[in-house]
Every structure is written in C-alpha cells, then in structure tokens.
Amino acid sequence: MSLKKYFPVFVMPTLIAFLIAFVIPFVLGIFLSFTEFTTILDAQWTGISNYIKAFSNDDFLNALWFTVKFTAVSVVTINLAAFALANILTKGLKGTNLFRTVFFMPNLIGGIVLGYIWQLIINGVLKFFGVTITYDPAYGFWGLVILINWQLIGYMMVIYIAGLQNIPSDLQEAAKVDGANRWQTLRNVTLPLVMPSVTICTFLTLTNSFKLFDQNLALTAGAPSGQTAMLSLDIYNTFYSKVGWEGVGQAKAVIFFVIVAVISFTQLILTRKNEVEH
C-alpha cells in the first residue's frame, strides 16, 4: 500500500524524463520517417517512399559496408590491446597508477578535437609522400581505426583491470600448484573469469564504433567522394544537404537503429553464454 502511495514520488520524475527525452522523440522519429518535412511540425504523410529512396543510390549501402568493416577491425584491435594493457598493469609494476591514468586520458578529449588532432598528425606524416589523408579511402579507414583505438583502449583497459582484480588469487595459485604455465592460466582461469568484462567491453566498442560520428566528421568528412563516410555521417549529410530529403535521412536513421539493436542484442546473448559463475 505505502509502496503504491510513493510510486509517483519516486518513479514519476524519471518516468517523465524518460518520456520526454526518449520515448516521445523516438516515436516522433519513426513517424517522421514516413513523411516529408522541413521542420518537425509540418509533416506530410508519404508512406514508405522514404525507405525506397534511402536505397535508391549506393551511398547508404557503401556507408553500411564501410561501417561494418571498420567496426569489425576496431572491436578486435581495441579489445586485444586493452586486455593486454590491463594484464600488464595488474602485475604490480612500478608506476602502474601513472600509466593507467595516461592511457585513460585520451578518452576525456572530445571526438571533434581528437579528429582534428589526428588529421594534423596523419597529414603531417603523409606530407613526406606528397599526399594527404583524402588521397585514398584506405588512409581514411586506417586513420579512423588508429583514432578510435587511441580513444577507447584506455577506457576498456579500466574495465578489464576491474575484472582482473576481481579474480580470487587462490584460483591462480591453485593453477600454479597444478603446474599450469602462464598461457594455460590465462586461457583456462583468467579468461573465463573476466568474461563479464569482455561482454561489456565488446558491447561498448561495438556500439561506439558503429555509431561513430564526430571523429569521422573531423578526420575525413567522408572524403574522398564519401568513400569514408560512416552511417551516421551519411544520415547527417542526407538530412542537411539535400533539399526535401529530410524524411529520407530520418528513414535511414530508423534502419540504422534497427541494425544497431539487432547486432548488439546478438552480441550480448552470444557473450553471455560464455560467462561463468564463481
């Protein structure tokens, strides 16, 4: 009874905030993807024509393919590097805290700033070859991979460190007594026990890489010829640089949402399976 009485007091603020900031824009967004509009207040229903237009040129599919490639590469590299660093920095070396802080720092810098910084660095190196990052889409691709690695490794490392520190030392000692070498301990004791961290980290890197926008905008802005535009950037360009294509941009955004949701749920389910209780 008293719980019911206090329901509005405790839940309403969050519920209202959730409604205003999430549910309403979300529903409105889906509605707008079926309309033609300039601003969100004067929309005209056009059915699914926006969805047809979204696939009418290659831009969207190219961006999708580029994003998938990028995500696949960066999820692997980020997690491997972050796990390796976490492993080293939990061995009790000198200066561990300093290193942890330093590795974490790039994560505190905004994406646009990072993008411009790396553009300067990469162009500075490529200058010796008389070209810039826009010369070849591959340069843009690897530039983005380096950038996202640099930004996310520190963050993921912190999560892995927390996971590693949670492993009871008696398990590792027991493994040692049983004659397991380092690799075997890592493979059979440590890894299964940090699976929860792996789940979180793959989830975060997967969604972050997939939804990457500001770094992409600042580093290459899609050049050359939109060949390094990721999905978010393509949606943004569709929305703002074509007269009357706002609805199509919205439709692409809805498709984007569905893709992200499907991928991250599948990933969650798959990695959850590998988690063990101790």
Site residues, other proteins (CB under 8 A): 38-42, 57, 119, 123, 127, 129-136, 217, 220-226, 237, 240-245
User: What's the CA angle centered on 259, arms 220 and 215, to 5 degrees?
Assistant: 20
Identity of the residue, 42 or 277, whose beta carbon is nearer to other proteins in the bound complex: 42
Query: Min. distance of Cβ 224 from other proteins in angstroms?
Result: 5
Q: Tell me the sheet residues that pair with 43.
A: 37
Element (H, E) at 43: strand 43-45
Query: Min. distance of Cβ 56 from other proteins in angstroms?
Result: 9
Identity of the residue, 58 or 173, whose beta carbon is nearer to other proteins in the bound complex: 58
Q: Tell me the sheet residues that pair with 44.
A: 36
- Rounded to the nearest 10 degrees, the angle between the axes of helix 246-273 and helix 231-241 is 170
**Tokens matching residue 35:** 């309309």
Assess contact for 225 and 208: CB atoms under 8 A: no
Assess contact for 118 and 143: CB atoms under 8 A: yes
Identity of the residue, 84 or 131, whose beta carbon is nearer to other proteins in the bound complex: 131
Query: Min. distance of Cβ 115 from other proteins in angstroms?
Result: 10
For 110-132, the DSSP string reads: -HHHHHHHHHHHHHHHHGGGT--
Identity of the residue, 90 or 119, whose beta carbon is nearer to other proteins in the bound complex: 119
Identity of the residue, 194 or 229, whose beta carbon is nearer to other proteins in the bound complex: 229
Query: Min. distance of Cβ 220 from other proteins in angstroms?
Result: 7
Query: Min. distance of Cβ 152 from other proteins in angstroms?
Result: 24
